[in-house]
Amino acid sequence: MPRFLFCMRPATAPPTMARSQGVNMSAFKTTVSELAVRFGLAFHGDGNRLIDGVGTLAGAGPSQLSFLSNSKYASLLAGTRAGVVVMREENVADSPVPALVARDPYVAYAKIAALFERLPHAPQGIHPSAVVAPGAKIAPTASIGPGCVIDAGAVVEDGAILGPHCIIGTDCTVGAQSRLVARVTLVIRVTLGKRVLVHPGAVLGSDGFGLAFDRDHWIKLPQLGGVRIGDDCEIGANTTIDRGALDDTVLEEDVRLDNQIQIAHNVHIGAHTALAGCAAVAGSAKIGRYCMIGGNAGVLGHLEVADRVTITAKSLVTHSIREPGEYSSGVPLQENRQWRRNAARFKHLDEYARRLSALEKDSNNE
Protein backbone atom coordinates (compact mmCIF):
# COMPACT_ATOMS: atom_id res chain seq x y z
CA MET A 1 0.00 0.00 0.00
CA PRO A 2 1.48 3.38 -1.00
CA ARG A 3 2.54 5.74 1.74
CA PHE A 4 0.17 8.47 2.87
CA LEU A 5 -2.63 7.08 0.74
CA PHE A 6 -5.37 5.41 2.72
CA CYS A 7 -6.30 4.78 6.32
CA MET A 8 -7.85 1.47 5.34
CA ARG A 9 -5.52 -1.09 6.93
CA PRO A 10 -5.10 -0.60 10.67
CA ALA A 11 -2.27 -2.88 11.67
CA THR A 12 -3.35 -3.49 15.30
CA ALA A 13 -3.52 -1.21 18.28
CA PRO A 14 -0.43 0.29 19.93
CA PRO A 15 0.89 -1.38 23.08
CA THR A 16 -0.82 1.17 25.35
CA MET A 17 -4.33 -0.01 24.49
CA ALA A 18 -6.17 -1.52 27.43
CA ARG A 19 -6.74 -5.25 27.70
CA SER A 20 -9.98 -7.05 26.91
CA GLN A 21 -11.07 -4.66 24.17
CA GLY A 22 -12.71 -6.20 21.15
CA VAL A 23 -15.99 -6.90 19.41
CA ASN A 24 -18.51 -9.50 20.48
CA MET A 25 -21.88 -8.27 19.26
CA SER A 26 -23.68 -11.60 19.04
CA ALA A 27 -23.95 -15.10 20.42
CA PHE A 28 -22.18 -16.48 17.34
CA LYS A 29 -19.41 -18.89 18.28
CA THR A 30 -17.08 -21.11 16.30
CA THR A 31 -13.81 -22.98 16.72
CA VAL A 32 -10.38 -22.38 15.26
CA SER A 33 -10.57 -25.54 13.17
CA GLU A 34 -14.01 -24.60 11.84
CA LEU A 35 -12.65 -21.22 10.76
CA ALA A 36 -9.72 -22.94 9.05
CA VAL A 37 -12.02 -25.19 7.04
CA ARG A 38 -14.50 -22.43 6.23
CA PHE A 39 -11.85 -20.05 4.85
CA GLY A 40 -9.32 -22.56 3.50
CA LEU A 41 -6.58 -21.71 5.99
CA ALA A 42 -3.97 -23.88 7.67
CA PHE A 43 -3.87 -23.72 11.45
CA HIS A 44 -1.39 -24.45 14.22
CA GLY A 45 -2.26 -25.16 17.83
CA ASP A 46 -5.53 -25.98 19.55
CA GLY A 47 -8.19 -26.31 16.86
CA ASN A 48 -10.94 -26.71 19.47
CA ARG A 49 -10.43 -23.22 20.92
CA LEU A 50 -13.81 -21.48 20.96
CA ILE A 51 -13.95 -18.03 19.31
CA ASP A 52 -16.84 -15.60 19.86
CA GLY A 53 -15.45 -12.21 18.78
CA VAL A 54 -12.51 -10.22 17.43
CA GLY A 55 -10.01 -7.78 18.90
CA THR A 56 -6.57 -6.25 18.56
CA LEU A 57 -3.35 -8.06 19.33
CA ALA A 58 -2.94 -5.92 22.44
CA GLY A 59 -6.54 -6.08 23.59
CA ALA A 60 -8.07 -9.41 22.49
CA GLY A 61 -9.03 -11.96 25.11
CA PRO A 62 -8.81 -15.78 25.06
CA SER A 63 -12.06 -16.20 23.11
CA GLN A 64 -11.31 -13.57 20.49
CA LEU A 65 -9.53 -13.61 17.14
CA SER A 66 -6.89 -11.06 16.13
CA PHE A 67 -4.49 -10.61 13.22
CA LEU A 68 -0.92 -9.60 12.43
CA SER A 69 -0.39 -8.13 8.98
CA ASN A 70 2.29 -5.50 9.55
CA SER A 71 5.76 -6.55 10.76
CA LYS A 72 5.95 -3.23 12.62
CA TYR A 73 3.65 -4.75 15.24
CA ALA A 74 5.26 -8.19 15.42
CA SER A 75 6.59 -7.37 18.90
CA LEU A 76 3.00 -7.43 20.22
CA LEU A 77 2.62 -11.08 19.30
CA ALA A 78 4.63 -12.41 22.25
CA GLY A 79 2.30 -10.80 24.78
CA THR A 80 -1.05 -11.36 23.11
CA ARG A 81 -3.85 -13.13 24.98
CA ALA A 82 -5.94 -13.68 21.84
CA GLY A 83 -7.52 -17.07 21.32
CA VAL A 84 -6.14 -17.25 17.78
CA VAL A 85 -4.17 -14.89 15.52
CA VAL A 86 -4.31 -14.75 11.73
CA MET A 87 -0.75 -14.38 10.45
CA ARG A 88 1.73 -15.33 7.77
CA GLU A 89 3.63 -18.60 7.96
CA GLU A 90 6.84 -16.75 8.81
CA ASN A 91 5.37 -15.55 12.14
CA VAL A 92 3.99 -18.88 13.35
CA ALA A 93 7.13 -19.93 15.23
CA ASP A 94 6.90 -16.78 17.40
CA SER A 95 3.23 -17.19 18.32
CA PRO A 96 2.33 -18.21 21.87
CA VAL A 97 -1.30 -18.86 20.84
CA PRO A 98 -3.02 -20.83 18.06
CA ALA A 99 -2.45 -19.43 14.58
CA LEU A 100 -4.42 -19.33 11.34
CA VAL A 101 -2.03 -19.02 8.40
CA ALA A 102 -2.96 -16.74 5.47
CA ARG A 103 -1.12 -15.29 2.51
CA ASP A 104 -2.72 -11.92 3.32
CA PRO A 105 -3.76 -11.85 7.01
CA TYR A 106 -5.67 -8.60 6.65
CA VAL A 107 -7.88 -9.97 3.87
CA ALA A 108 -8.46 -13.19 5.80
CA TYR A 109 -9.31 -11.19 8.93
CA ALA A 110 -11.81 -9.06 7.00
CA LYS A 111 -13.64 -12.16 5.81
CA ILE A 112 -13.66 -13.80 9.24
CA ALA A 113 -14.68 -10.66 11.14
CA ALA A 114 -17.81 -10.41 9.00
CA LEU A 115 -19.10 -13.51 10.79
CA PHE A 116 -19.29 -11.56 14.04
CA GLU A 117 -20.98 -8.44 12.66
CA ARG A 118 -24.63 -8.20 13.56
CA LEU A 119 -26.45 -5.27 11.99
CA PRO A 120 -29.69 -3.94 13.51
CA HIS A 121 -32.72 -5.91 12.38
CA ALA A 122 -34.64 -4.30 9.51
CA PRO A 123 -38.19 -5.65 9.39
CA GLN A 124 -39.77 -6.19 6.01
CA GLY A 125 -42.50 -3.78 5.02
CA ILE A 126 -43.15 -0.05 5.18
CA HIS A 127 -42.99 1.88 8.45
CA PRO A 128 -46.23 3.72 9.23
CA SER A 129 -44.45 7.09 9.19
CA ALA A 130 -43.04 6.61 5.68
CA VAL A 131 -44.64 8.42 2.76
CA VAL A 132 -44.92 6.42 -0.46
CA ALA A 133 -46.39 8.07 -3.53
CA PRO A 134 -48.85 6.23 -5.76
CA GLY A 135 -46.96 4.60 -8.59
CA ALA A 136 -43.86 3.77 -6.56
CA LYS A 137 -42.97 0.07 -6.63
CA ILE A 138 -41.82 -1.48 -3.35
CA ALA A 139 -40.87 -5.17 -3.20
CA PRO A 140 -42.65 -7.05 -0.39
CA THR A 141 -39.26 -8.12 1.05
CA ALA A 142 -37.89 -4.56 1.17
CA SER A 143 -37.63 -2.62 4.43
CA ILE A 144 -38.70 1.03 4.43
CA GLY A 145 -37.71 2.79 7.65
CA PRO A 146 -39.25 5.64 9.65
CA GLY A 147 -39.70 8.96 7.91
CA CYS A 148 -38.72 7.78 4.44
CA VAL A 149 -40.21 9.51 1.38
CA ILE A 150 -40.54 7.62 -1.91
CA ASP A 151 -41.69 9.50 -4.99
CA ALA A 152 -43.76 8.29 -7.89
CA GLY A 153 -41.83 6.23 -10.40
CA ALA A 154 -39.30 5.04 -7.81
CA VAL A 155 -38.49 1.33 -7.46
CA VAL A 156 -37.19 -0.46 -4.36
CA GLU A 157 -36.21 -4.05 -5.16
CA ASP A 158 -36.14 -7.29 -3.16
CA GLY A 159 -34.38 -7.20 0.18
CA ALA A 160 -33.35 -3.55 -0.08
CA ILE A 161 -33.16 -1.65 3.22
CA LEU A 162 -33.91 2.05 3.59
CA GLY A 163 -32.92 3.39 7.00
CA PRO A 164 -34.58 6.37 8.67
CA HIS A 165 -35.38 9.51 6.68
CA CYS A 166 -34.14 8.39 3.26
CA ILE A 167 -35.58 10.14 0.20
CA ILE A 168 -35.98 8.26 -3.08
CA GLY A 169 -36.81 10.61 -5.92
CA THR A 170 -38.59 10.18 -9.21
CA ASP A 171 -37.24 7.52 -11.57
CA CYS A 172 -34.77 6.22 -8.98
CA THR A 173 -34.11 2.52 -8.40
CA VAL A 174 -32.66 0.92 -5.28
CA GLY A 175 -31.26 -2.47 -6.32
CA ALA A 176 -31.83 -5.77 -4.58
CA GLN A 177 -30.11 -6.21 -1.19
CA SER A 178 -28.84 -2.63 -1.25
CA ARG A 179 -28.76 -0.71 2.01
CA LEU A 180 -29.18 3.02 2.56
CA VAL A 181 -28.15 3.52 6.17
CA ALA A 182 -29.93 6.78 7.02
CA ARG A 183 -30.74 10.22 5.57
CA VAL A 184 -29.62 9.20 2.08
CA THR A 185 -31.09 11.21 -0.79
CA LEU A 186 -31.48 9.91 -4.34
CA VAL A 187 -32.62 13.06 -6.11
CA ILE A 188 -33.69 12.00 -9.61
CA ARG A 189 -32.76 9.36 -12.21
CA VAL A 190 -30.43 7.41 -9.93
CA THR A 191 -30.02 3.67 -10.37
CA LEU A 192 -28.28 1.60 -7.71
CA GLY A 193 -27.17 -1.92 -8.57
CA LYS A 194 -27.33 -4.91 -6.26
CA ARG A 195 -25.79 -4.91 -2.76
CA VAL A 196 -24.87 -1.22 -2.83
CA LEU A 197 -24.11 0.30 0.57
CA VAL A 198 -24.72 4.03 1.01
CA HIS A 199 -23.79 5.70 4.30
CA PRO A 200 -25.65 8.54 6.07
CA GLY A 201 -25.96 11.93 4.47
CA ALA A 202 -24.91 10.92 0.95
CA VAL A 203 -26.64 12.73 -1.91
CA LEU A 204 -26.78 11.08 -5.33
CA GLY A 205 -28.27 12.68 -8.42
CA SER A 206 -27.99 16.32 -7.39
CA ASP A 207 -27.48 18.97 -10.07
CA GLY A 208 -24.12 19.07 -11.77
CA PHE A 209 -22.30 22.40 -11.74
CA GLY A 210 -23.22 23.38 -15.30
CA LEU A 211 -23.21 27.10 -16.08
CA ALA A 212 -22.86 29.32 -19.14
CA PHE A 213 -21.82 32.97 -18.77
CA ASP A 214 -23.96 35.31 -20.86
CA ARG A 215 -22.22 38.72 -20.94
CA ASP A 216 -22.96 39.77 -17.36
CA HIS A 217 -24.70 36.83 -15.68
CA TRP A 218 -24.76 33.06 -15.38
CA ILE A 219 -27.27 30.78 -17.11
CA LYS A 220 -27.86 27.40 -15.51
CA LEU A 221 -27.57 24.41 -17.84
CA PRO A 222 -30.22 21.74 -17.27
CA GLN A 223 -28.79 18.47 -16.00
CA LEU A 224 -30.67 15.93 -18.07
CA GLY A 225 -28.69 12.76 -17.32
CA GLY A 226 -28.70 10.47 -14.34
CA VAL A 227 -26.43 8.43 -12.09
CA ARG A 228 -25.71 4.71 -12.49
CA ILE A 229 -24.05 2.83 -9.63
CA GLY A 230 -22.83 -0.73 -10.27
CA ASP A 231 -23.22 -3.79 -8.07
CA ASP A 232 -21.33 -4.01 -4.75
CA CYS A 233 -20.34 -0.34 -4.61
CA GLU A 234 -19.99 1.59 -1.35
CA ILE A 235 -20.67 5.33 -0.97
CA GLY A 236 -19.32 7.09 2.13
CA ALA A 237 -21.07 9.47 4.49
CA ASN A 238 -21.85 12.95 3.12
CA THR A 239 -20.42 12.06 -0.28
CA THR A 240 -22.08 13.69 -3.30
CA ILE A 241 -22.43 12.33 -6.82
CA ASP A 242 -23.91 14.71 -9.39
CA ARG A 243 -26.11 13.50 -12.20
CA GLY A 244 -24.90 13.96 -15.76
CA ALA A 245 -25.62 16.94 -17.96
CA LEU A 246 -26.54 14.71 -20.91
CA ASP A 247 -25.11 11.23 -20.40
CA ASP A 248 -25.07 9.55 -16.99
CA THR A 249 -22.47 9.77 -14.25
CA VAL A 250 -21.25 6.17 -13.85
CA LEU A 251 -19.59 4.09 -11.16
CA GLU A 252 -18.86 0.58 -12.37
CA GLU A 253 -19.05 -2.44 -10.03
CA ASP A 254 -17.18 -2.60 -6.70
CA VAL A 255 -16.16 1.06 -6.61
CA ARG A 256 -15.49 2.26 -3.06
CA LEU A 257 -15.89 5.92 -2.09
CA ASP A 258 -14.89 7.19 1.34
CA ASN A 259 -16.62 10.00 3.22
CA GLN A 260 -17.05 13.57 1.94
CA ILE A 261 -16.06 12.93 -1.67
CA GLN A 262 -17.29 15.00 -4.61
CA ILE A 263 -17.97 13.26 -7.92
CA ALA A 264 -19.02 15.79 -10.54
CA HIS A 265 -21.37 15.35 -13.49
CA ASN A 266 -20.53 12.85 -16.25
CA VAL A 267 -17.59 11.35 -14.38
CA HIS A 268 -16.94 7.68 -15.18
CA ILE A 269 -15.13 5.55 -12.57
CA GLY A 270 -13.95 2.06 -13.50
CA ALA A 271 -14.59 -1.11 -11.53
CA HIS A 272 -12.72 -1.87 -8.28
CA THR A 273 -11.38 1.68 -7.92
CA ALA A 274 -11.22 3.27 -4.45
CA LEU A 275 -11.13 6.96 -3.45
CA ALA A 276 -10.17 8.08 0.06
CA GLY A 277 -11.84 10.87 2.02
CA CYS A 278 -12.26 14.40 0.64
CA ALA A 279 -11.05 13.49 -2.85
CA ALA A 280 -12.75 15.31 -5.73
CA VAL A 281 -13.20 14.47 -9.40
CA ALA A 282 -14.26 17.26 -11.75
CA GLY A 283 -16.76 16.97 -14.57
CA SER A 284 -16.36 14.46 -17.42
CA ALA A 285 -13.14 12.97 -16.04
CA LYS A 286 -12.70 9.25 -16.65
CA ILE A 287 -10.95 7.12 -14.02
CA GLY A 288 -9.81 3.62 -14.96
CA ARG A 289 -10.21 0.29 -13.20
CA TYR A 290 -8.26 -0.80 -10.10
CA CYS A 291 -7.15 2.75 -9.35
CA MET A 292 -6.50 4.18 -5.87
CA ILE A 293 -6.88 7.90 -5.26
CA GLY A 294 -5.64 9.21 -1.92
CA GLY A 295 -7.30 11.53 0.52
CA ASN A 296 -7.86 15.14 -0.55
CA ALA A 297 -6.51 14.42 -4.04
CA GLY A 298 -8.14 16.05 -7.05
CA VAL A 299 -8.64 15.19 -10.71
CA LEU A 300 -9.40 18.03 -13.13
CA GLY A 301 -12.23 17.81 -15.59
CA HIS A 302 -12.17 16.03 -18.96
CA LEU A 303 -8.99 14.09 -18.10
CA GLU A 304 -8.43 10.35 -18.41
CA VAL A 305 -6.64 8.16 -15.89
CA ALA A 306 -5.49 4.71 -17.02
CA ASP A 307 -6.21 1.45 -15.21
CA ARG A 308 -4.16 0.58 -12.10
CA VAL A 309 -3.01 4.10 -11.33
CA THR A 310 -2.31 5.24 -7.76
CA ILE A 311 -2.60 8.94 -6.91
CA THR A 312 -1.10 9.75 -3.51
CA ALA A 313 -2.81 12.00 -0.97
CA LYS A 314 -3.26 15.72 -1.71
CA SER A 315 -2.03 15.33 -5.28
CA LEU A 316 -3.66 17.29 -8.12
CA VAL A 317 -3.99 15.57 -11.50
CA THR A 318 -3.69 18.27 -14.15
CA HIS A 319 -3.11 16.12 -17.23
CA SER A 320 -4.26 12.72 -18.44
CA ILE A 321 -2.34 9.69 -17.19
CA ARG A 322 -1.85 7.04 -19.87
CA GLU A 323 0.32 4.47 -18.06
CA PRO A 324 -0.19 2.49 -14.83
CA GLY A 325 1.93 3.51 -11.85
CA GLU A 326 2.11 5.71 -8.78
CA TYR A 327 1.88 9.47 -9.20
CA SER A 328 2.32 12.37 -6.77
CA SER A 329 2.34 16.17 -6.74
CA GLY A 330 2.71 18.95 -4.21
CA VAL A 331 5.46 20.10 -1.88
CA PRO A 332 6.27 17.85 1.11
CA LEU A 333 5.94 19.29 4.59
CA GLN A 334 8.97 21.31 5.67
CA GLU A 335 10.00 23.48 8.61
CA ASN A 336 8.34 26.85 7.98
CA ARG A 337 11.53 28.88 7.60
CA GLN A 338 12.90 26.46 5.03
CA TRP A 339 9.59 26.39 3.17
CA ARG A 340 9.50 30.20 2.98
CA ARG A 341 13.00 30.29 1.50
CA ASN A 342 12.11 27.65 -1.07
CA ALA A 343 8.80 29.33 -1.89
CA ALA A 344 10.63 32.61 -2.59
CA ARG A 345 12.81 30.75 -5.07
CA PHE A 346 9.89 29.14 -6.89
CA LYS A 347 9.21 32.47 -8.64
CA HIS A 348 12.68 32.39 -10.17
CA LEU A 349 12.68 28.80 -11.47
CA ASP A 350 12.05 29.86 -15.06
CA GLU A 351 14.82 32.47 -14.83
CA TYR A 352 17.22 29.89 -13.39
CA ALA A 353 16.35 27.40 -16.13
CA ARG A 354 16.99 29.96 -18.87
CA ARG A 355 20.32 30.97 -17.32
CA LEU A 356 21.40 27.35 -16.99
CA SER A 357 20.44 26.67 -20.59
CA ALA A 358 22.45 29.69 -21.73
CA LEU A 359 25.49 28.56 -19.71
CA GLU A 360 25.28 25.07 -21.19
CA LYS A 361 25.02 26.55 -24.68
CA ASP A 362 28.08 28.76 -24.10
CA SER A 363 29.99 25.81 -22.69
CA ASN A 364 29.20 23.70 -25.76
CA ASN A 365 30.38 26.49 -28.07
CA GLU A 366 33.78 26.73 -26.44
Phi-psi region of 330 (alpha: psi -120 to 50; beta: other; left: phi over 0): left
pLDDT of residue 17: 32
Q: Do domains 22-116 and 126-327 have the same CATH topology?
A: no
* pTM: predicted TM-score of the whole model, two decimal places: 0.86
CA distance readout (Å), 211 to 41, 187, 207, 222, 223: 56, 20, 11, 9, 10
The catalytic residues are: 265
Taking the CB of residue 328, how many other CB atoms lie within 10 A of it? Answer: 17
**What are the sequence ranges of the domains in the chain?**
22-116, 126-327, 336-365
What CATH number has the domain spanning 22-116? 3.40.1390.10
Taking the CB of residue 96, how many other CB atoms lie within 10 A of it? Answer: 13
Residue 204 near residue 225, CB atoms below 8 Å = no
- Which of the following CATH numbers is that of domain 126-327: 1.10.10.10, 2.60.40.10, 3.90.550.10, 2.160.10.10? 2.160.10.10
How far apart CA 242 and CA 238 sit, in angstroms, is: 13
pLDDT of residue 16: 32
How far apart CA 104 and CA 308 sit, in angstroms, is: 20
Per-residue pLDDT 10s for the chain (366 aa) are 343 344 343 333 333 333 344 544 456 899 999 999 999 999 999 999 999 999 999 999 999 999 999 888 899 999 999 999 999 999 999 999 999 999 999 999 999 999 998 888 899 999 999 999 999 999 999 999 999 999 999 999 999 999 999 999 999 999 999 999 999 999 999 999 999 999 999 999 999 999 999 999 999 999 999 999 999 999 999 999 999 999 999 999 999 999 999 999 999 999 999 999 999 999 999 999 999 999 999 999 999 999 999 999 999 999 999 999 999 998 888 999 999 999 899 889 999 999 999 888 877 776
pLDDT of residue 25: 47
